[in-house]
Amino acid sequence: MATRAIVTGVFGQDGSYLAEFLLGQGYEVYGVYRRCIAHGEDENVAHLKNHQNFKLVESDILEYSSLTELISDTKPEFFFNLAAQSHVGYSFKVPIETFRVDAEAVIAQLDIIRRVSPKTRYYQASTSEMFGGIDCPKHGYTEQHPLNPCSPYAVAKVAAHHAVKNYRQAYGLFACSGILFNHSSPRRGYDFATRKITHGVAQIVAGKQQYLPMGNMDAFRDEGHAKDYVKAQYLMLMQDKADDYVVATGDGATIRQMLEYVCQLAGLAYDDVYRMNPEFMRPSDVPFLLGDSSKIRSIGWQPEYDWKKLLKEMFEHDCSLQSSANVNSLQIKRTQEFTSKTART
């Protein structure tokens, strides 16, 4: 029988790349999704749906009974919790919902595993937002740095982060948190800064919009590729002992520098593209995030992408999406590439 893994948030960028990676390793993957998704939100896993080891499971991470049934029935070797209300700015508008999804649901998952499947290895998606961008060391934040959440999203993630430690210490669960710094991909949602930049500039190049409205351009982010980061998530659960790890490239740029770079790729002038929109300014923002990933690099992780290589890939992808025919051909190509890859493994 194949090794079983549950992946919540499977329709997101991390969930889809992780499912793809696990299937390539011969795993049986149960991808958890919510029914109330919008049309087209499953496109990241469309190329996986016919895979014999991929099973989509309709559920809600706030629904205790359905998760209990799923974990009890499958007794998975691995549980990756990637589902979240993950938009920092939006968390200021829905703080209670954010806390329930990003904190309460994590405690419920840990408690279910403790009761019905204690040998399951658990991964929680923590975030660099927990540090708050305060007093960042020269070489970046490490796992030992004090946490200082500056948004409802970060507050909820801190609570979940401590819950993972508590269940690891109190009950002996193999439970890990990956403190992931910013990471993006061509599968990133359009309301995140990096994708807003690459998609917006591609739209301008195609003559479909004139300007790109943005908020704070001075925030510095350590940025990597989701494909690299899901490999780090997997590696954490392969260790002999459960622990928490910072995952970061150790390099990054301000949002302004990122937009300037994509404008350069497009042959456009930054001042002709950028327009400040106060609606995108947050009540509080994290000014500077840089990570020190020495710990996880010591067990074999190494990113293949830096922020420029990432943005170039995303921009080229978004330029290719300017016609529906290209969207369809890209989806077919993704399916063919995955089928070919798994056939070789």
Selecting among 28, 129, 223, 260, the annotated active-site residue is 129
Active-site residue, 104 included: no
Active-site residue, 249 included: no
Do β-strands 121-127 and 78-81 pair in parallel, antiparallel, or remain unpaired?
Answer: parallel
Residue 63 backbone dihedrals phi, psi, to 5 degrees = -95, 95
Active-site residue, 129 included: yes
Selecting among 127, 194, 198, 249, the annotated active-site residue is 127
DSSP 83-128: -----HHHHTT-HHHHHIIIIIHHHHHHHHHHHH-TT-EEEEEEEG
- Closest alpha carbon to 113 in 73, 161, 68, 157: 68
- Coil, helix or strand at residue 288: strand
Selecting among 141, 153, 167, 274, the annotated active-site residue is 153
DSSP state of 26: T
Between CA 327 and CA 318 the distance in angstroms is: 10
Positions annotated as catalytic residues are 127, 129, 153
